[in-house]
A and B are shown apart, each in its own frame.
Chain A
Amino acid sequence: MAKYTYSYYPGCSSQKGASSSNLMKSVQTMCEELDVELKEIPDWNCCSASIGYASGSELPRITLSARNIALSEEHNPGETIVATCAACWLATREAAERLSHDPQLKAEADQALAEAGLKLKNETPIKHMAEVLVEDIGFENIQAGVKKPLEGIKIAGYVGCQTNRPFGIHGESFENPVYLDKMIEAVGAESVPTYEKKVQCCGGALAFSEPEKSQEMIKGIIEAAYDNGADMIATPCPLCQANVEIYQDQINERYNTKFNMPVVYYSQLISVAYGRSAEDAALDGQIIPAKQLEEIAKK
C-alpha cells in the first residue's frame, strides 16, 4: 500500500503522445518518489475543457464531468479524485458544486447519466495535484526528500489562471499566490517572488483560435520572467506550459524578440531534485530544453 492513494483523472492533453504527455510522465515519476498511488478512473472521458461551452451548453457539459465522477465513485470508491490538468480539475469541481447546489440540474444530469447506465452520488472531493502536494504532503516533506537541490537555478513560478481561479489553493490569494514559489524553494532553487505575471492569463484555448491576441499576452509572461532574471519558468498547468513554451518561435518572429525560455512543470523539478534521470523527468519532452535541469539530472 502506498502512503497516499487517489482516483486519478489524467485528462486528454496528458495522454501518451498528446501535448502534455511530459506532464503525465513526470507526475508518475514524482508520485513514485512521494509514495503516491494514482488509480486511473477507468474509461474517463474528456471534460470538454474551457472551450466546450459553446457547443456543449450547461447541462451536457456538466454531465460529461458527472460521468467521470460517477465512474470514479463506482470503481475507486472512497478515493479523492485528483487531476493534473487545471481545466479538468476546474470542470470537474465546478460540475460537482453546481450539481450539489441546483437540485433541478442534478435531477436532469441523473436522467442523462442513466442513459449510460451510471449513477452519481456526488460525494467525492476533487483535488488538483498541487493541492495534494501543498495540503496532503506538505512543503517540509517535499523538501525532506530532496537529493539534488536545484541550486543556482532561478525559476519564475507561473501559476496561471485556472489553477488559481476561481477555486485556487485554500488560503492563497488570487492576486499573489505563493505556493509555487514555496515549492520551488523546497527543491532548492531560487524563486522569483516579484514575478508580476504569475497569474496572468496565457490565452487558454484562444491560443488556437486567436493566436495574435494570445501571443501578445504570452510575450508579456516571458518578458517579465527575463526582466526578473529567471532562468526558466515553472508551472502546474498543461495549457500554460504548452502556450508559453511552444509559441516562442512564432513570437520571436512576430515581435522580433529572442526568447528561448524553458518552461517546465513543478513535477519535473521535483523529479530531478529527487535524483531521477532526465528521461524519468520527461525533460526530453521539452521543445526548449531545460539544460540546467538536464545537467543536474546527469550528475
Chain B
Amino acid sequence: MSDLNTRMIEKYRNDFLKEVEANVEEGEWVKMCMQCGVCSGSCPLGKHWAHPPQEIFMMIRAGKREEVLTSDSMWMCTSCYNCIVRCPRELPITHIMHGLATYSKKLGLVPKGQPTATFAEIFWNNMMKKGRVNELKLGLSLYFKDGFGQGIKNAMANQKLGMSMMKAKRMSPAEFFGGHGIKDVGGLQKMIKKAQELEEARMKKFD
C-alpha cells in the first residue's frame, strides 16, 4: 500500500473522491454532501476540529488528499451521532469520520501521538487478547502510553479516582491478574484475522 501513502493528485478532480469511495467506510456518500454545515454546527467537539466534517467533505472533493489523511480532525469524533440525525442529506457522517480515521491509520498517516488513535489501538489490543475489555489494564496502559515516567504522573493524577472506583467495586485489582475473558478466544481471533484479510483484499489500489 505504500504507493497510496504518497499519492499526488490533481485538485478539483474526482481522483481522491473515488479513492475515498472505494476504500473508506461509507465513502460513497461523500459526494452527496450539500455543504450546509449543519454537521459542523452540531458537533459537540466542533471547535476542536481543525477541519469540521463539512470542510473535510469539501476537502475530499477538492482533492486535498494529504491534508485530509494526515489531519487529526476525524479523531475528534466522539460518536455522538448528533450530525447523523441532523444531516438533511442523511450522510452517515459518524461512520465516514471513523472510516477516514481508520484509512489514515491503515496508511500510517495518523499524526504522531494522537491520543485517541493511541487509545483506540490499546483498546483493540486489550479486547483482542481475551475477547472482552479489561478496563484496568486498559486504564493502566493508557497511563503508560507516553512512557514510564509520564505514566506514573498520569496515574497519580487519577489515583483518587481509581481508589473510589475500587471502593465502589467498579474497578477490581484482580482484573490485572486475569479477569474477564471469553472461552473461544482462538475462534474469535481466527475470525477477526479472516475479516481483516477479506477487507484488505477489497482495498482498491490507485496510481
Contact = CB atoms under 8 A, between A and B. Distances in A.
B170 A18 contact: yes
A210 B169 contact: no
Contacts of B198: 59, 108, 111-112
A46 B199 contact: no
Interface in A178-224: 199-201, 203-206, 208-210, 213-214, 217
A44 interface: yes
A58 B120 contact: no
Given A51-B123, A59-B198, A217 B191 contact: no
29 contacts: A15-B180, A16-B172, A17-B174, A18-B172, A19-B135, A43-B131, A45-B127, A49-B123, A51-B123, A52-B124, A53-B98, A54-B120, A58-B102, A59-B198, A63-B195, A108-B199, A112-B194, A115-B187, A116-B191, A161-B78, A161-B80, A203-B78, A204-B79, A208-B119, A208-B142, A209-B119, A217-B45, A246-B161, A285-B168
A273 to B, nearest CB: 22
A53 B80 contact: no
A151 interface: no
B133 interface: yes
Given A43-B183, A217-B44, 18 more contacts: A12-B127, A18-B135, A20-B170, A50-B79, A54-B121, A54-B124, A55-B121, A58-B102, A108-B202, A109-B195, A116-B184, A116-B188, A166-B94, A168-B85, A203-B78, A205-B119, A209-B142, A214-B78
B194 A111 contact: yes
Contacts of B150: none
Interface stretch (B2-10, B14-22, B59-67, B110-118): B110-118
Nearest to A204: B78
B25 A57 contact: yes
A13 B157 CA distance: 22
B34 interface: no
Contacts of B45: 201, 206, 213, 217
B50 interface: no
A115 B194 CA distance: 7
Interface string B160-176: 11001100111110110
A67 interface: yes
Interface in A30-56: 43-46, 48-56
Interface residues of B, number: 68
A12 B135 contact: yes
**Looking at chain B's contact residues, is the secondary structure mostly helix, strand, loop, or mixed?**
helix
A241 B55 CA distance: 33
Contacts of B29: none
Contacts of B101: 53-54
Contact of A13 (B76, B135, B142): B135
Contacts of B85: 165-166, 168, 174
Interface in B61-98: 75-76, 78-82, 84-86, 94, 98
Contacts, number: 216
B125 interface: yes
B191 A201 contact: no
Interface string B100-112: 0111011000000
A89 B69 CA distance: 30
A21 interface: yes
4 closest cross-chain pairs (CB), A and B: A17-B172, A116-B187, A54-B120, A55-B124
B120 A17 contact: no
Contact of B190 (A15, A58, A115): A115
Contacts of A165: 80-82, 84-85
Nearest to A284: B168
Nearest to A23: B170
B153 interface: no
A249 to B, nearest CB: 6
Contacts of A208: 119, 139, 142
A166 B169 CA distance: 32
Contact of B192 (A63, A200, A201): A63
B132 A55 contact: no
Nearest to A160: B80
B120 A52 contact: yes
